[in-house]
């Protein structure tokens, strides 16, 4: 009997072990089955109606999701384009409308006369400078002042001493270009090469050939016009970019960062980072400065993290995060501290809440989102936070994501653009 009992006990233990293993596997399988898988969509399924197609462009099927952002490919009269994020798509659509307007100007009699006048003047430019500007004139991504060296190589030595020096012509062209970009509601530092070529053409014709196009350049409207118009934040940023050359924007950004308690060395490294344009400098520096006077209260950690941006998409992401923090500070509750959890900014507010800006188009419930949200909730509980964790999304979240985050007492604020002003 004891031997039988031993066998039974051993068998029982084996069965129990199997039940535990199988049960664990089932639990894991059930959890995994709940996760959502990024996929592809028809443009009309996931994009606003005015971003699906237009007179000279259309978004191609499919739009690809990575669980956070939508990647879109466009076919247009001006060539193919590919963008990541609805914000970037909105910006591109506005740029396509601006390109159409600028091409109309280039086809006008006034433009032809300006080109002819510039060729006959004391400064003779290479044949293609105004009609087909080279990419180096675009000033992307480091700013427009690389213009000087490149332009000087195209100028003849024949010059009237009474005329302005060449660099003044360059500055004038840069100024005209910024003015026209502002009138059209587009970013003068955009990486869109087609837009840059058109702006360069009109800017040079205005500076050197005395082209007058102000009457023709009316705001193009549409998504970009809406995004860059209106209230105080937009006006402040656009006034900076329109009025100041890139070199001044660097100085202004450094000064604002230092006023916010950022070290001079970190501020200098930021404005010299190739992945950021002068417009990024101002968007981020002004946003951080508006969080209040020094001490920096973690803003230096955010800026240090932002320097890890690898490209324009990353730079846009950090600019959006900074703007959400600025908007929350000004319209909801003052930000008292900014902490970084990996690349996520977690801002503590005076109302007791923790604010996490998430520039996403559509947030799916994935293994990573599960882990990160669990960490955020645990971290906040450990600190004894008296409020709640708020995730501010620029876009939307799936029903499952909302359900799961709600169970962890994480508040989700969708469509942050409808609550605070954000420039793309």
Q: pLDDT in tens for each of the 424 residues of the chain?
A: 444 444 444 444 333 343 344 444 434 444 444 899 999 999 999 999 999 999 999 999 999 999 999 999 999 999 999 999 999 999 999 999 999 999 998 888 777 777 666 555 444 443 344 443 433 333 322 222 222 223 333 333 344 433 445 556 667 778 888 988 998 999 999 999 999 999 988 888 777 766 766 545 555 544 443 333 344 788 888 888 988 889 999 999 999 999 889 999 999 999 999 999 999 999 999 999 999 887 668 999 999 999 999 899 999 999 999 999 999 999 999 999 999 988 899 999 999 999 999 999 999 999 999 999 999 988 887 776 678 999 999 999 999 999 999 999 999 999 999 999 999 8
Question: Cβ(291)–Cβ(299) under 8 Å?
Answer: yes
Assign 73 to helix, strand or coil: strand
Question: Cβ(239)–Cβ(229) under 8 Å?
Answer: no
What does the block give as tokens for 234? 């937009």
- Determine the Cα–Cα distance for residues 213 and 108; give it in Å rounded to an integer: 10
Assign 186 to helix, strand or coil: coil
With a CB cutoff of 8 Å and minimum separation 6, the contacts of 148 are: 167, 170
* Length reported for the chain: 424
In this structure, the number of other CB atoms found within 10 A of the CB of residue 294 comes to 12
What does the block give as tokens for 88? 């970037």
Distances 60 to 38, 63, 83, 128, 342 between C-alpha atoms, Å? 18, 7, 12, 33, 34
Distances 387 to 110, 355, 370, 377 between C-alpha atoms, Å? 62, 10, 21, 12
Bond preceding residue 300 cis, omega within 30 of 0 = no
């Amino acid at each position: 009997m004891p031997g039988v009992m031993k066998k039974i006990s051993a068998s029982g233990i084996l069965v129990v072990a199997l039940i535990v293993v199988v049960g664990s596997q089932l639990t894991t399988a059930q959890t995994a089955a709940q996760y959502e898988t990024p996929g592809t969509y028809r443009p009309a399924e996931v994009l606003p109606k005015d971003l699906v197609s237009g007179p000279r462009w259309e978004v191609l099927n499919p739009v690809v999701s990575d669980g956070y952002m939508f990647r879109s490919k466009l076919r247009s009269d001006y060539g193919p384009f590919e963008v990541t994020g609805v914000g970037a798509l909105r910006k591109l659509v506005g740029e396509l409308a601006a390109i159409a307007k600028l091409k109309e100007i280039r086809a006008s009699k006034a433009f032809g006369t300006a080109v002819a006048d510039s060729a006959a003047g004391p400064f003779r430019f290479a044949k293609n400078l105004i009609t087909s500007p080279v990419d180096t004139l675009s000033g992307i991504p480091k700013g427009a002042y690389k213009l000087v060296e490149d332009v000087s190589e195209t100028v003849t030595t024949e010059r009237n001493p009474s005329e302005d020096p060449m660099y003044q012509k360059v500055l004038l062209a840069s100024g005209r270009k910024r003015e026209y970009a502002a009138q059209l509601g587009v970013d003068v530092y955009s990486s869109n090469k087609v837009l840059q070529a058109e702006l360069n053409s009109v800017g040079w014709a205005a500076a050197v050939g005395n082209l007058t196009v102000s009457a023709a350049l009316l705001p193009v409207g549409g998504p970009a016009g809406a995004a860059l118009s209106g209230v105080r934040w937009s006006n402040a940023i656009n006034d900076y970019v329109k009025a100041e050359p890139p070199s001044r924007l660097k100085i202004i950004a450094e000064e604002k960062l230092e006023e916010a308690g950022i070290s001079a060395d970190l501020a200098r490294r930021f404005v010299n980072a190739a992945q950021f344009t002068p417009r990024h400098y101002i968007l981020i520096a002004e946003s951080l400065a508006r969080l209040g006077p020094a001490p920096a209260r973690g803003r230096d950690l955010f800026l240090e993290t932002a320097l890890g941006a690898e490209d324009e998409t990353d730079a846009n992401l950090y600019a959006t995060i900074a703007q959400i923090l600025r908007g929350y500070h000004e319209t909801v509750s003052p930000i008292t501290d900014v902490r970084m959890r990996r690349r996520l900014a977690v801002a503590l507010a005076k109302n007791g809440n923790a604010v996490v800006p998430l520039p996403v188009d559509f947030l799916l419930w994935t293994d990573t989102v599960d882990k990160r949200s669990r960490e955020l909730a645990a971290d906040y509980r450990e600190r004894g936070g008296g409020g709640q964790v708020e995730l501010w999304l620029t876009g939307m979240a799936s029903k499952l994501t909302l359900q799961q985050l709600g169970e962890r007492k994480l508040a989700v604020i969708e469509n942050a653009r409808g609550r605070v002003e954000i420039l793309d």
